[in-house]
Amino acid sequence: MTLPAVLDTRYPLETPEGIDLLLQPAGPIPRALAYLIDLCIRGLVMLAFSIVLIFFGRLGMGLWSILFFLLSWWYPVLFEVLWQGRTPGKHYLGLRVVHADGTPIGWSASLIRNLLRTVDMLPLVYCAGFISMLSNARFQRLGDLAANTLVTYQERALINTTHISVAPQQPPVALDLEEQLAILDYAERHQQLSEERRQELAELLCNSLQIPRAQAQTQLLGMASYLRGPQ
């Protein structure tokens, strides 16, 4: 129905129920930011433990090595698997990792994508991963390609659709579904727009709907109210 625009990165995924889930893969910038946040967290944890473990002598040094190993290799794996595909950095930026079929990520896939990070980092600062992300439509780095995973945006809280308090009004001509949708969308988003923009958008339809410019807004809202039907 609503075809994604050409520039949109949304990627439809058909479920067994015959429904298209729209996943929105995340690009390099938010992912790099998430990585930096994770890096800072890891650094701080390491620092905090270093200060504590320094009092435990040789046992502390051993534990320090193990902790360093865990943080550098297992931090992303454990978070992704146990916390619905999110590391703290990804959570902050509203991202999460899923299998390419939209299901939650499991141990093997998470381990593959995070071990292959080694190659994505080559030759320096994630060059290989960056090139790989830019050369496919779903922004997958090499590790994602091998593990068949995606980093997508999480569902965001939706804006509340406000009631249309304008008396219903029948459209002057028969509208097809896409035209109806456009009018409904206008009514739903109209509170987020500035007065000038509302008027500007409404005037686009004045000629085809044969309505006077001065009443364009109220008439469009009225039609939306008609299309949505009685309460």
Partner 1 sequence: MKQQQFEALRRADWQQFEQHLEQLEARSKHTRNLDDFPKRYRALCQDKALAQSRAYSNALVERLGQLVSRGHQQLYRHRSRTLSRVIGFLLAEFPRAVRREWRAVGIASAFFYGPALLVGTLIFFFPELIYSLMDAEQVRGMEQMYDPSARRFGEGALRESDSNWVMFGHYISNNIGIGFRTFATGLLLGIGSLFLLLFNGLVIGGVAGYLSQLGYVETFFGFVIAHGAFELTAITLAGAAGLKLGWALIAPGALSRLQALQQAAQQSMSLVYGVILFLLIAAFIEAFWSSMNLAFSTKLMVGAVMWLWVGAYLGWMGRTHATQ
Q: E strands of 108-217, at which residues?
A: 149-153
Asked if 123 is part of the footprint of partner 1 (rule: CB under 8 A), the reply reads no
Please, what's the b/e burial string for 21-46 (b: 16 or more CB within 10 A of its CB; e: otherwise)?
eebbbbeeebbbebbebbeebbeeee
Q: Which stretch binds partner 1 (CB under 8 A): 39-47, 112-120, 190-198, 213-221?
A: 112-120
Which of the residues 160 through 189 are near partner 1 (CB under 8 A)?
Answer: 161, 177-178, 180-181, 184-185, 187-188
Asked if 228 is part of the footprint of partner 1 (rule: CB under 8 A), the reply reads yes
Whole-angstrom distance, CA of residue 218 vs CA of residue 190: 11
Smaller CB separation from partner 1, 185 or 200: 185
Asked if 212 is part of the footprint of partner 1 (rule: CB under 8 A), the reply reads no
Q: Which stretch binds partner 1 (CB under 8 A): 44-52, 65-73, 191-199, 207-215?
A: 65-73
- Least distance (Å) from partner 1 to the CB of residue 126? 14
Whole-angstrom distance, CA of residue 132 vs CA of residue 116: 13
- Least distance (Å) from partner 1 to the CB of residue 1? 5
Using DSSP's 3-state secondary structure scheme, residue 24 falls into: coil
Asked if 192 is part of the footprint of partner 1 (rule: CB under 8 A), the reply reads no
Secondary element (H or E) of residue 69 = helix 57-69
